[in-house]
Chain A
């Protein structure tokens, strides 16, 4: 725990709207160890991207961090002034976005964008930065890197572009990469390639990954541990294999049941009835209570805390001491 690279404690992100204050992230806590791949999974609107944006300090106003702490290697970063946080970005924490087409500035060559980033954080001259950039492109698997580095983004295919984006995010050796839906915008055939590139690069450079996605299959393939989020709150945290085989939180159980596998012997995929509540309409007590097949009276009144249970962290009153049995 004390060795953790990234430590998020009771993070709260709020949005003032004219209808009241919206809580997009509600007391979320987790750790990421050095070099580990942590998956963050949940439906759209569950707060996963918002958590990622909060960590790197890029929440769009009027949203803001309203509580909790974020620390990297023991040092708090959620309350840093702008310039100090800017130096953290890129150098210590990098981010990869969903759509490679719009992530790159169309009017600059790849070389210009890479060299600029490298020289912002490292004291290298133009030639050295360029060599480093070419090396990175090689590593992510761009063929003929020394030629293609002078091309423009639109001259690359989708998969190649995302590789470039990964190179850009990793070019000054951050300790953590936040990957927000890195494969969602790509062809299925390309998706696993990109996950491989991401994993390989991070293993080679010793970088941890926070892999945000709604696709449980990607988590199963790539992550070591997983955080399951629901309606801005954490439902369950645990090792990926454990969570898949033996989910504890009723929501997670529903989620696992909805993944098609060759092993499964059923006619229909499990569906969780109803939909995740909008952030303006979260019911009192447990957010999942209205859809939960195992809910009991306390669930509609008390909001469960995320507590350790059999090597996991679960936010469910079923695993609370004192639950009726």
Chain B
């Protein structure tokens, strides 16, 4: 088990290094860092000097090393657009994205799992067919379309909920939260439904198909043959077995939520990292793009690690050595 953890840690480090390499390549070779930073009047000598100062003439492996060590300390360069440290920019926008992602994930899980279980157990009921139709719509409508639709209905037409921004936020040290104000909470509703709907349908379909698979297994048949109650079979046995693969895949989806936030933030003008990244892509602001990539990779790697650990804890076949058959 310890060997497993160590192996996963090593894997994570490797992934981070690979991603850093890609980020570094982007940073260094896409566009010219010096040209991006200076005006048209700067002379060739001044540019050369800048090159030297930035270490752009050093050996490549050395540059990579500088890049990685600076990144590890939180220095992610200067934004081409805003002329401010990237770390500051990202830091100021991180809370917005994380809060949005968290609420969306919660929504997706709390709605998706019960719906999935219900449709697996009651395959013919009207409610199941309704849920499945909703799921089909959830998977078919692109996130931005859902957002626009929600805005149109709830903001423009009914005027119940705001259509942009975070509402009033409260600063807790470095973090700014929208959880503590009514306007903040109201502002969270439409974006998190938008962001979470796709994930919710994925989770629901996953739980449904996994559970239907499990209900076909021999040990469920044997449980029935032993006269166990439906409740014991469906929830004690079937559901618990379903949860194991569901945990893995759901965990990975959580990472996707953070990435898909880009779209939602655009539709709702939510001041998060995603919007920042998009502007960076549009304006070819490489430092922000590279930094965003690194941060996302880090978040994903951490999430994957947690999911793997959870998996090991939950499935005894991995935790404990088996006997020779």
Determine direct contact between A and B, CB below 8 Å: yes
Residues of A within 8 A of B (CB): 56, 58, 86-91, 94-95, 97, 99, 101-108, 116-117, 120-121, 152, 154-158, 160, 165, 168-169
Tell me which of A102, A156, A169 has the highest count of chain B C-beta atoms within 10 A of its own C-beta.
Answer: A102
Residues of B near A97 (CB, < 8 A) are 218, 221-222, 225
Q: Least Cβ distance of B319 to chain A in Å? A: 9
Q: Tell whether, in the assembled complex, residue A95 and residue B225 are in contact, meaning their CB atoms are under 8 Å apart.
A: yes
- Nearest CB of chain B from residue A74's CB, rounded to whole Å: 21
> In the complex the two chains form, is B317's CB within 8 Å of A152's CB?
yes
Which chain B residues border A158 with CB–CB below 8 Å?
A: 325
Q: Is B244 close to A, CB under 8 A?
A: yes
B315→A116 contact, CB < 8 A: no
Q: A120-B232, A155-B323 are in contact. Are A99 and B218 (CB under 8 A)?
A: yes
Q: Is the CB of B229 within 8 A of A120?
A: yes
Question: Is B6 interfacial (CB 8 A cutoff)?
Answer: no
Which of chain A's residues have a CB closer than 8 A to the CB of B61?
Answer: none
Task: Count residues of B near A (Cβ-Cβ below 8 Å).
Answer: 29
Q: Is B322 an interface residue (CB 8 A)?
A: yes
With a cutoff of 8 Å between Cβ atoms, the chain B residues found around residue A90 in the complex are 225-228
A152 to B225 alpha-carbon distance, docked (Å): 20
Question: Contact between A107 and B227 (Cβ–Cβ < 8 Å)?
Answer: no
CB distance from B299 to the nearest CB of A (A): 30
Q: Judging by beta carbons under 8 Å apart, are B226 and A89 in contact? A: yes
**Cβ distance B94 to chain A, nearest Cβ, rounded Å:** 38
Judge whether B224 is part of the interface by a CB distance below 8 angstroms.
Answer: yes
Q: Which residue of chain A lies nearest to B240 when distances are taken between CB atoms in the complex?
A: A107
Cβ-defined contact, B227 with A121, below 8 A? yes
Chain B binding site: helix, strand, loop or mixed by DSSP?
A: helix
Binary per-residue interface labels of chain B (212-232) against chain A in the complex, 1 for a CB within 8 Å, 0 otherwise: 000001110111111111101
A86 to B315, CA, bound (A): 29
CA gap between A168 and B324 in the complex, in Å = 22
B222 pairs with A87, CB closer than 8 A: no
B236 and A116 form a contact (CB under 8 A) = yes
Q: Is B176 interfacial (CB 8 A cutoff)?
A: no
Q: Which residue of A lies closest to B315 (CB)?
A: A107
Q: B221 to A58, Cβ gap below 8 A?
A: yes
Complex Cα distance, B325 from A158, in Å, reads 5
Find out whether the CB atom of B325 lies under 8 angstroms from the CB atom of A106: no
Does B317 contact A106, Cβ atoms closer than 8 Å? yes
Please name 7 pairs of A and B residues whose Cβ atoms are closer than 8 Å in the assembled complex, sorted by A: A58-B224, A90-B226, A95-B225, A101-B325, A107-B241, A157-B325, A158-B325
Q: Does B320 count as interface, using CB distance less than 8 angstroms?
A: yes
Say if the beta carbon of B237 comes within 8 Å of chain A: yes
CB <8 Å contact, B227 and A86: yes
Query: A86 near B229 (CB under 8 angstroms)?
Result: yes
Cα of A108 to Cα of B316 in the assembled complex, Å: 8
